[in-house]
Amino acid sequence: MTALDLRAARERELPARPSAHRWRRGLANSVKYGSLVIGSVLTLLPLVVIVMASFKNQREFQTTGPYDLPQALGNVENYVIAFTKGRMVDAFVNTSVILLVSITGTILIGTMTAYAIDRFDFRFKKSVVMLFLLATLVPGVTTQVATFQVVNTLGLFNSRLAPMILFMGTDIVSIYIFVQFMRGIPKELDEAATLDGANHWTIYRRVIFPLLKPAIATVVIIKGIGIYNEFYIPFLYMPSRDLGVISTSLFRFKGPFGAQWEVIAAGVIIVIIPSLIVFLLLQRYIYNGFTSGATK
C-alpha cells in the first residue's frame, strides 16, 4: 500500500472516531442513569407498598395484592388508630426529650474532649487516644450485661435517664469528628485570644465552639438519626408502656393489633414523616458535613 493509499484510509477512518466516542459516551450514560433508576425503584418500592397498605381497610388488605391501589386514598382511619390507640403522641414526646438531651450532652462532651485532646499536651495523651480507638472496636452488645447491671445499680432502670446517659457516654465517633474538624482551626486564634486575656474556658466557648458549627451539624444529623431509629436500648432499659419511644411503640403494634398490618403500615409512615422533613431541610448540611469530614 502506497503513502497515498494510507492517507486516504486514514481520512476515511477520521469521521468514524467521533461516532465511536459518542457511542461509548452514550453507553456510559445509559449504564449510569439505568443503575440510578434501578436503585431508586428498589429504594422507593417498599415505601410505596407501605403507603398503599396504610390506606386500605383490613378486608381490602387481606384480599388484594401489595401493589394494588387502595379503593379510597382518603381513608385515614388507620392513622387515627395508630395515633390514639398506639399512643404515638406519647412516643414522639419521649423520643423528642431523649433526643434533645442526648444530642446536647453529646455535643458538649464531644467538643470539650476534642478541645482537650487537640489543644493540650498531657501525660498518657496517646494512651487515652488509643483507648478511645479501642472502645470503637469493642462490639456494644458484648458489654450489655455489665452495662445493665451498672444502670440497674444506679437506679436508672425504667427511666428516661438510662438511654440518655448511654447515648451520651458511648459516642466515640462524635469525638473523632470534632477532633478532625478542630485540627483545621489555626492555633494562632487561641494565642491571639490568650494575649487578649482570655482563659481556656473563654477560648473554648467564644472561639472554638462557634467554629465547630459544621461538625456540630454533622454530629446532630448522624446522632439524631441513630437515636431516632434506636430500638434495642429503649426496649431493654424502658419496658414501661408509658416510656415507649417511636421504635418500641411501633413494635408493640404486634401485640394489641395482632394481624392489623394496615395499622402497622400507617404507624411506619407516621414514624418516617418527621425524619423525612428533617432530611429535606438539612440535606445541604448533611452533604457538606460528610464531604468536609472525608477530606480532612
Residue 233 near residue 163, CB atoms below 8 Å = yes
pLDDT in tens, the chain (296 residues): 555 565 666 655 555 556 777 888 888 888 989 999 999 999 889 889 988 888 888 888 888 888 888 887 778 888 888 888 778 888 889 999 999 999 999 999 999 989 998 888 888 888 888 887 777 777 777 778 888 899 899 988 988 999 999 888 767 788 888 888 888 888 888 888 888 888 989 999 988 999 888 888 888 888 888 888 888 888 889 888 888 888 888 777 765 555 678 888 888 888 888 878 877 777 776 666 555 554 44
| Model pLDDT, residue 84 | 81
| Model pLDDT, residue 97 | 93
How many CB atoms are located within 10 Å of the residue 286 CB?
Answer: 16
| Model pLDDT, residue 35 | 92
Residue with cell 392489623: 260
pTM, two decimals, is: 0.73
Per-position b or e across 119-135, b if 16+ CB within 10 A of its CB: eeeeeeeeeeeeebeee
C-alpha cell at 130: 488509643
Q: What is the distance between the alpha carbons of residues 30 and 107, in angstroms, rounded to a whole number? A: 44
| Model pLDDT, residue 294 | 47
| Model pLDDT, residue 119 | 87
